[in-house]
Structure 1
């Protein structure tokens, strides 16, 4: 997918330049916007831009289809007028949409401009020996006003649609660049964690591969399995860094802390506190570790009881990222 997103980023930059420098006709820009939507698998926008590129679909009765009506709203094509069928003193408003394609409206503007060039008033020379003033030929002012209205109306509609197209491309460009920055940051963190895991817990690398495979599934049980695997990875790291013990640790205040086989979070927190020279760092990482540990344990316990813990794909992805970030902090000590 990365080459597609790289192409999409470059294309979005190119389209913004086309808009800002008025380099090509807007209809050509619409087609480039359609390709951009296809590259990023934005299927809703593909349907919208297909209407913009190919014309708005109508039903057998001559009304816009539901998809076309929705697309008209996204393009800023819908507007309100007084209901011509209303018999009330105060007219009710009804919503309509203009449906000419950008190509048609641009052609209307170009044709009107050509007409305007020949609609000027001819120079007239009048002379007469009559005592009556000669009649002055009528001007083309009325025609020019009519042509101007065509230009103004079509240009206004084009600019409405252009503003929506520009905003769409601008937003996509921003999201692609932000995602790229975020991905670079996470990739560096992941590479650091993977490198250190190879030394202390090489089996964890293979488990992370299993996690990624589960995320490709459409089955929520596989997403839950990805979360289970994150728990096993953290536990294996705990076993490598701070072995379990049946002995209890006495905390300040006299409280006893278990650090047995199942208390892997407690063991990691003890490891952090023993290695970190910053109480604040230990506190922050410890709180993050407790949070993710409680959630992972909850999913694990539900599975042990034979019940199904509901895990969404977004949630599974979030805990995988949390796992990497927490392990990165721990392994940096």
Structure 2
């Protein structure tokens, strides 16, 4: 089964995390995988840094100098002395120093030269140990930064995927409810989306007019007009044809036992209806109009889920 881009990104990020934590790949292979991941998520800064890790650093670019510090490459920053080599060379130098250290032996000597020879050999051992420590430190910092990058991408994309799935499933439920109860209303949604896409004031006004008509039609479907009244919170509310919000609130009152939820739905409905109505006659930008449309869609869907 072919993976989506988001699924592939999550899979690759998880692979890199496991490669590092279980030491499955060498540094070069991890760098190449991390570069591919940075390309997938379009992170140009990380891609540039990883290029330095593969090709070597320079003293001219800010990102290069920044990651010289973050990876602990400086010997003397003020004099711009440091380990500018790519990670593969750092790793190679580290292995060379380890081999050198393994071959160093304190000679079996005595007499006046013994102290001099022992001091020289000890210094060679200390120098090799210091270089190994420095190279291992650079390598560790690089791998740690890659691990942080992959972990961040993994959890961000996992959350996005989860949120997307939750919304898609919720949308399917709402679409089904609207289709079953308000078939003629759902048919108007494509025209709203089309008008909003045109992104001009006339189209936006028409889209919001349709939103208001949808709310009016919604009221007629769930609570048809009547000459009677309903008492909600001590207020006697008319349920006539022009009392759109009253009739919707009556439906909410009859189908929702939670007073706090009824209050929130009532407030949302009032604010939404006012904004949609005002937006028909005043300047509303495309972003606000889209928000009002989605709010209309979600609110009507939530109200339908109340049905006992």
Return the TM-score normalized by structure 1.
Answer: 0.71
For residues 107-157 of structure 1, give each alpha carbon's deviation from its aligned partner in whole angstroms, at most 9, with x where no partner exists. Answer: 2212222222222335x377xxxxxx5753824221121111111112112
Match of 2:173 in 1: 192
C-alpha distance in structure 2 between counterparts of 1:46 and 1:26, whole Å? 16
CA distance in 2, matches of 1:110, 1:257: 84
Write the deviation string for residues 54-101 of structure 1: whole angstroms up to 9, x where unpaired.
444x5xxx5224x5456x28x82479999869xxxxxxxxx9986543
Q: Provide the C-alpha distance between the structure 2 equivalents of 1:199 and 1:109, rounded to a whole number of angstroms.
A: 70
Q: Match of 2:13?
A: 12
Task: State the secondary structure of the residue aligned to 2:29.
Answer: helix
- Contact 2:52/2:64 (CA < 8 Å) preserved in 1? yes
Relative CO higher for 1 or 2, CA cutoff 8 Å, sep ≥ 6?
Answer: 2
Q: 1:250 to 1:272 in 2, by over 3 A?
A: closer
- Indicate which of 259, 270, 281 corresponds to 2:250: 270
Number of equivalenced pairs = 302
Aligned equivalent of 1:108: 93
Q: Which residue of 2 aligns with 1:308?
A: 284
**1:23 is aligned to 2:37:** no
TM-fit CA distance, 1:299:
4.1
2 CA distance for matches of 1:27 and 1:284? Answer: 58
Alignment-derived partner of residue 64 in structure 1: 61
Matches within 5 A, 1:131-150: 133=111, 135-136=113-114, 138-139=117-118, 140-150=121-131
Superposed CA RMSD: 4.2
Tell me, yes or no, if structure 1 residue 331 matches structure 2 residue 305: yes
Cα deviation digits, residues 147-175 of structure 1 (max 9, x gap): 11111112112222322221221122122
**TM-score normalised to structure 2 length:** 0.76
Alpha-carbon contact 1:4-1:40 (below 8 Å) kept: no
Question: 5+ unaligned residues in a row in structure 1: which ranges?
Answer: 86-94, 127-132
1:154 aligns with 2:148: no
1:242 aligned onto 2:223:
yes
Determine the C-alpha separation between the residues in 2 that align with 1:44 and 1:83: 22
The runs of 5 or more residues in structure 2 that have no matched partner are none
* Alpha-carbon distance change, 160 to 134 in structure 1, aligned in 2, over 3 angstroms: closer
For residues 204 and 36 of structure 1, do their structure 2 counterparts lie closer, same or farther at Cα, with a shift above 3 Å needed? farther
| Greater share of helix | 2
Query: What secondary structure sits across from 2:117 in the alignment?
Result: coil
Aligned with residue 117 of structure 1, among 102, 120, 128: 102
Q: Using the TM superposition, give the Cα deviation of residue 6 of structure 1 relative to its aligned residue in structure 2, in angstroms.
A: 0.8
| Cα distance change, pair 11–147 in 1 and its aligned pair in 2 (3 A) | same
- What displacement does 1:3 show? 0.5
Deviations, residues 197-256 of structure 1 (Å, cap 9, x unaligned): 1122224444445666788x6969799689846655544433321234576645453x34
| 8 A Cα contact 1:223 1:312, kept in partner | no
